[in-house]
Structure 1
Amino acid sequence: MKVLVIGDVVGNPGRQTLKAFLDKNKSQYDFIIVNGENAAAGFGITGKLCDEILDWGADVITSGNHIWDKKEIYDYLDRSNKVLRPYNYPKGVPGTGYTILKDKKGNKIAVISLQGRVFMPPIDCPFTTVNELVGEIRKECKHIIVDFHAEATSEKLALANFLDGKVSVVYGTHTHVQTADNKILLDGTGYISDVGMTGSDNGIIGMKKESIIPKFLTALPQKFDVAEGKERVNGLDIEIDDETGECIKIDRINLSLMELGIF
Structure 2
Amino acid sequence: MEKPARLLFLGDIVGDEALTCVENRIPILRKELGLSGVVVNAENAAGGSGLTVSQYQRLRKGGVDLVTLGDHGLKRREIVPLIERGEPISRPANLPSQAPGKAWVETLLACGTPLRVITLLGRAFMKPVDCPFDALDRHLPEICRSPGITLVDLHAEATAEKELLGWYLDGKVSAALGTHTHITTADERILPKGTAYQTDVGMCGSTSGVMGRKPEAILRTTRTGLPESWSLSTGAIALSGALVEVDPITGKALHIQRYREVGQSV
Shared topology, TM-score over 0.5? yes
| Of 146-155 and 9-18, the range deviating more from structure 2 | 9-18
Give the corresponding residue for 2:210. Answer: 204
Q: 2:13 aligns with which of 6, 9, 15?
A: 9
| Secondary structure, aligned partner of 1:109 | strand
What TM-score do the two structures reach when normalised by structure 1?
A: 0.95
* Contact 2:147 2:248 survives alignment (8 Å): no
* Contact 2:147 2:250 survives alignment (8 Å): no
Alignment of 1:242-257 (within 5 A): 242-257=248-263
CA distance in 2, matches of 1:85, 1:242: 24
Alignment of 1:1-263 (within 5 A): 1-27=5-31, 28-257=34-263
The amino acid that maps onto 1:3 is L
| Secondary structure, aligned partner of 2:193 | coil
CA distance in 2, matches of 1:80, 1:142: 19
Deviation of 1:142 after TM superposition, in Å, equals: 4.1
* Contact 2:113 2:148 survives alignment (8 Å): no
Post-superposition Cα deviations, 1:181-225, rounded to whole Å, max 9, x if no partner, equal 000101010000001000100010000112211111111111011
CA distance in 1, matches of 2:27, 2:54: 19
Deviation of 1:104 after TM superposition, in Å, equals: 1.7
Q: Percent identity?
A: 36
Q: How many residues align?
A: 260
| Of 40-49 and 168-177, the range deviating more from structure 2 | 40-49
| Of 157-166 and 74-83, the range deviating more from structure 2 | 74-83
Unaligned 5+ segments in structure 2 are none
* Contact 1:81 1:96 survives alignment (8 Å): no
Q: Call closer, same or farther: CA 1:257–1:222 in 2, change over 3 Å.
A: same
| Secondary structure, aligned partner of 2:147 | coil
CA distance in 2, matches of 1:214, 1:69: 25
* Contact 1:110 1:141 survives alignment (8 Å): no
* Contact 1:97 1:114 survives alignment (8 Å): no
Unaligned 5+ segments in structure 1 are none
> C-alpha root-mean-square deviation of aligned residues, in Å?
1.4
Deviation of 1:23 after TM superposition, in Å, equals: 3.0
Deviation of 1:83 after TM superposition, in Å, equals: 1.1
* Contact 2:88 2:106 survives alignment (8 Å): no
The amino acid that maps onto 2:18 is G
Deviation of 1:90 after TM superposition, in Å, equals: 1.1
The amino acid that maps onto 1:185 is L
| Secondary structure, aligned partner of 1:68 | coil
